[in-house]
Amino acid sequence: MNVFERIKISKGNKKVISQTLEVGNIDPFAKGDDFFVAEDVNFDGYKDIRLIVDQGATGNRWYAYWLFHPSKNRFIENEELDELVNPVFDLKTKTILTYYHLSSREYVNGTYKFAKNGKLIKIHEERQELIDKNNTSTLYKTVSRLKNGKWVSRIKVVNP
């Protein structure tokens, strides 16, 4: 069930539509949710568009993004950002923090930034996951970061 099918964009109070963004399937959103947000998500000084497209039972949220390109005077969908779960945009550090809740004890946190070419790069990840081996469950935490273009990771057992 789609709540709506498209977003029509006009400039100022004008009724002339300058762009229409087609919206794929989205889950109905909860009352009071900020399902449609205009904010600068790529830290270039221009407002972009973020729209909730899916909400999981564990609180995870996925969005569709359209970034404003001033040279084209248009919004263009960004599928890299679409993959992020529960993103928080930090204007001060120009990073994007994500939190993917897998279960009561398992999660994946990520930190991303935009490269000079506009591509999204993961620079840090913390993952906690339960792994079953030989009928024994062990909770592992892996912390990884991008250092000089290579991933460096530390793994520790959270519980034996």
Residue 125: helix, strand or coil by DSSP?
Answer: strand
Residues 100-113: what's their mean pLDDT? 93
Name the pLDDT band for 127 (thresholds 50, 70, 90). Answer: very high
| Predicted pLDDT at 159 | 76
- What is the band of 52 on the pLDDT scale with cuts at 50, 70, 90? confident
Which pTM does this prediction carry?
Answer: 0.84
How far, in Å, CA of 34 to CA of 88, rounded? 13
pLDDT band at 31 (very low <50, low <70, confident <90, very high): low
Whether the pLDDT of residue 1 is over 60: the answer is no
Query: Higher-confidence residue: 158 or 2?
Result: 158
Task: Give the highest mean pLDDT range of 19-23, 29-33, 130-134, 140-144.
Answer: 140-144
30-44, 83-97, 135-149: which range is least confident on average? 30-44
Name the residue with higher pLDDT: 92 or 159: 92
d(CA 135, CA 151): 31
